[in-house]
Amino acid sequence: MPNNDKQLLPQLAIYFLLAFLIAWGAWFPAFSHPQSLKLLSFAGLFAPALSAIAIVYTNNGRQGVKALLGRYTILRFHAGWYVFAVLFVPLLFILSLLADNAFYHTGLKNLLLPVSPVVAPVSFIWLMFINSGEEIGWRGFALPRLQKLLKSPIYASLVLGIFWSLWHLPIYLVPGQSSIPLPLFLFFTTGLSFIYTVLFNQTRGSLFSVVLLHASTDVVPRIFNITLFSSHTWLIFGILTWISAIVLFIIFRKRNPEVAESVKRS
C-alpha cells in the first residue's frame, strides 16, 4: 500500500509516540538500577528503529521493511560525502576547542584521552551498529515523511531536530551521564539535524551516510576528554553547527527528487 499525504501525519504521530515510550520505558528503570539493567538501557537505543519497522510493516508489509532497510545499500554517491560524514563533526570540535582557547585562554592540555590508536576505529564500527538503532527511525523513516508532509527540508529538519533532542532528555536525570549543559545540547542537536538532512538528501537517501555521520559524532568522546570542555566550548560548537547548517542549506538547497519519492515505497 503506497503512502499518501493522509497517512503521513498519523504514521509520524504514532512513530514519535512509540519511539519515546519504548526508549523512556526502558531507560527510566535502567537508570534507576544501572548495575542490574544495563541490557534494558541498551535496548532503548533501538526504539526509533523498532518503532519505524513496526509502522512500515503494518502499512506496507515485508516489502516496505525491505525498502526501508535497503537504504543501507545506497553506497554510490560522491566520495566527498564520505569524507564529510566521517570528518566534519570532529573538525567542528577541533575548531571549537581552538576558538575557545583563543578567546578564553582555556588551554588544550589533557584534552586527548590516553587510549590506544585502535580505540577510535573499533569504537567507530561499534557506534555504526548502535546508531543504526536511531537512524533507521530518525532519518530512514521520519525525515522523508516529514519532508513530504511539510513540503520543506527546512521545516522537516527543525521538527525532527526538536523531537530528536527531546528524546535524549532522560540521560540528564542521571548525574554524570552528560557533560553538555542541557540548553546547549538542545541547541547543538537541533542544528545538527539540518546537517543530517543535507547529507541524507545529497546521498540519495542513504542510511549508510547518516550512520557514518552519527558514528563520527559519538566517537569524539572516545578521543577527547569532553568533561574538560567548558560551556564556552559547547556554545561555540553549537554556533559553528548552525552556521554550517545554514551554509550547507544555501549551497545544496535543491532537494534530490529520489528522496521525495522514496517514501512511497516504504
* Angle, CA 187 vertex, CA 184 and CA 188 arms, to 5°: 85
What tens digit of pLDDT does each residue of 95-143 get?
998 898 888 767 677 778 888 888 889 999 999 999 999 999 999 999 9
Q: Which residues touch 7 (CB under 8 Å, ≥6 apart)?
A: 59
For residue 51, name the pLDDT band (cuts at 50, 70, 90): very high
Distance CA 28, CA 40 (A): 10
| pLDDT score for 36 | 58
| pLDDT score for 32 | 73
Residue 227 in domain: yes
Tell me the average pLDDT of the chain. Answer: 89
| pLDDT score for 150 | 95
Distance CA 200, CA 138 (A): 11
Residue 36 in domain: no
Output the pTM of the full model: 0.90
User: Does the pLDDT of residue 178 top 80, yes or no?
Assistant: no
Residue in 247, 148, 130, 245 with CA at minimum distance from that of residue 192:
245
Find the domain containing 100 and state its range: 76-260
SS3 assignment, position 1: coil
What's the start-to-end Cα distance of the chain, in Å?
A: 9
Residue 242 in domain: yes
Residue 245 in domain: yes
User: Does the pLDDT of residue 82 top 70, yes or no?
Assistant: yes
Residue 62 in domain: no
Q: In the structure grid, which three cell numbers stand for residue 11, read together?
A: 504514521
CB 215 within 8 A of CB 128: yes
User: Does the pLDDT of residue 179 top 60, yes or no?
Assistant: yes
Residue 188 in domain: yes
| pLDDT score for 1 | 41
What tens digit of pLDDT does each residue of 213-262 get?
999 999 988 888 887 788 888 999 999 999 999 999 999 976 555 555 55
Residue 101 in domain: yes
Distance CA 189, CA 15 (A): 20
What tens digit of pLDDT does each residue of 28-42 get?
887 777 665 677 878
Min mean pLDDT across 23-27, 147-151, 234-238, 252-256 is at: 252-256
Distance CA 151, CA 134 (A): 23
Residue 23 in domain: no
Domain count along the chain: 1
